[in-house]
Amino acid sequence: MLSRVADSLYWMSRYLERAEHTARLLDVNLNLMLDEGPESAERRWLRVLQALGKPKGIAWEGDPYTLTQTLIFDREHKSSILSCMISARENSRHVREQISTEQWHRLNSMYLQVTRPELKNRDRAGVAANDTMQSSDFLQSVMESVHQFQGVTDSTMNHGEGWQFIQVGRYIERAYATTLLLEAYHEDLWTRHEHATEGNEFLEWMGLLRSATAFEAYCKVYTADLTPDRIFEFLLLDEEFPHSVRFSIDSLQCALERIEGDGGRSRGEGLRKLSGRLQASLSYSSAEEILTQDAVAYLRGIQEQCMTIHETIYALYMDYAIQAALAG
Amino acid sequence: MPCRYTQATLMQTAQARQFEQSTLKKYLLDHAYDEMFAGPQKLRPHYELLFKHFSSLPADELQRRKQAADLSFLNQGITFTVYGRDEGAENIFPYDLIPRIVTAAEWAKVEKGLTQRITALNLFLKDIYNEGRILDDGIVPREVVYSCRHYRRQMMGLQVPRNVYIAICGTDLIRLENGEFVVLEDNLRVPSGVSYMLTNRRVMKRIFPQLFRGYNVRPIEQYTQLLLGALRSLAPEGRPEANIVLLSPGVFNSAYYEHAYLARQMGIELVEGRDLVTHDNVVYMRTTSGLRRVDVIYRRVDDDFIDPMAFRGDSILGVAGLFNAYRAGNVTLANAFGTGVADDKALYAYVPEIIRYYLSEEPVLNNVETFLLTDPKVRQHVLQNLDKLVVKAVVESGGYGMLIGPQSTAAQREEFARKIEADPRNYIAQPTISFSRAPCLIEDELEPRHVDLRPYVLYGDKVTIVPGGLTRVALRSGSLVVNSSQGGGSKDTWVLSQ
Q: Is there a contact between B291 and A326 if contact means CB atoms under 8 Å apart?
A: yes
| Neighbouring residues of B298: CB distance < 8 A, sequence distance ≥ 6 | B167, B168, B227, B231, B244, B245, B246, B247, B262, B268, B334
Of B257, B259, B271, the CB nearest to A2: B271
pLDDT in tens, chain A (328 residues): 899 999 999 999 999 999 999 999 999 999 888 887 777 888 899 999 999 999 988 989 888 888 998 999 888 889 999 999 999 999 998 888 788 888 988 998 888 888 876 555 555 555 554 555 567 888 999 999 999 999 999 999 999 999 999 999 999 999 999 999 999 988 777 766 555 555 677 888 899 999 999 999 999 999 888 888 899 999 999 999 999 999 999 999 999 999 987 555 567 888 989 999 999 999 999 999 998 989 999 999 999 999 999 999 999 999 888 877 787 6
Chain A residues in contact with B77 (beta carbon < 8 A): 93, 96, 104, 108
User: How many CB pairs below 8 A link A and B?
Assistant: 78
Sorted by where each begins, the domain ranges of chain B are: 369-431
Q: How far is B288 from chain A (nearest CA, A)?
A: 4
CA distance B440 to B449: 6
The pLDDT-based confidence of B11 (bands split at 50, 70, 90) is very low
β-strand partners of B437:
B34, B450
A258 CB neighbours in chain B (<8 A) are none
Q: What residues 255-284 of chain A have any CB closer than 8 A to a CB of chain B?
A: 259, 262-265
**Under 8 Å CB-to-CB from B73, ≥6 apart: which residues?**
B92, B93, B95, B199, B203
Query: 161-190 in B: which are within 8 Å (CB) of A?
Result: none
Residues of chain A positioned with their CB less than 8 A from the CB of B274? 4
CB atoms within 10 A of CB B349: 19
- Residue A238 has a CB neighbour count (10 Å cut-off) of 18
Count CB atoms within 10 A of the CB of residue B400.
Answer: 12
Q: Do A265 and B289 touch (CB under 8 A)?
A: yes
Q: How far is B311 from chain A (nearest CA, A)?
A: 24
Residues of chain A neighbouring B89 (CB-CB closer than 8 A): none
ipTM of the modeled complex: 0.77
Distance from CA of A61 to the nearest CA of B (A): 29
* A156 at interface of B, judged by CB pairs closer than 8 A: no
C-alpha A313/C-alpha A199 separation (Å) is: 46
List Cα–Cα distances, B353 to B128, B138, B166, B184, B185, in angstroms.
Answer: 15, 11, 19, 16, 16
CB B98 within 8 A of CB B54: yes
pTM comes to: 0.81
Chain A residues closer than 8 Å to B286 by CB: 2-4, 322, 325
Which chain B positions have a beta carbon within 8 Å of A161's beta carbon? Answer: 288
Residue A315 touches partner B, C-beta closer than 8 Å = no
Interchain contact, A4 vs B288, CB within 8 Å: no
CB contact under 8 A, B75 and A108: yes
B74 close contact with A: CB closer than 8 A = yes
**C-beta atoms of B287 and A2 within 8 A:** yes
Which of B260, B271, B277 minimises the CB distance to A96?
A: B260
If one counts every other C-beta atom within 10 angstroms of the C-beta of residue A75, the result is 11
The CATH number that domain B369-431 falls under is: 3.30.1490.270
Q: Do B251 and A94 touch (CB under 8 A)?
A: yes
pLDDT in tens, B425-482: 889 999 988 889 999 988 778 899 999 999 999 999 999 999 999 999 998 888 877 7
Q: Does A86 touch chain B (CB under 8 A)?
A: yes
CA-CA distance, A102 to B343, in Å (whole number)? 39
Q: Is A327 on the interface with B (CB under 8 A)?
A: no
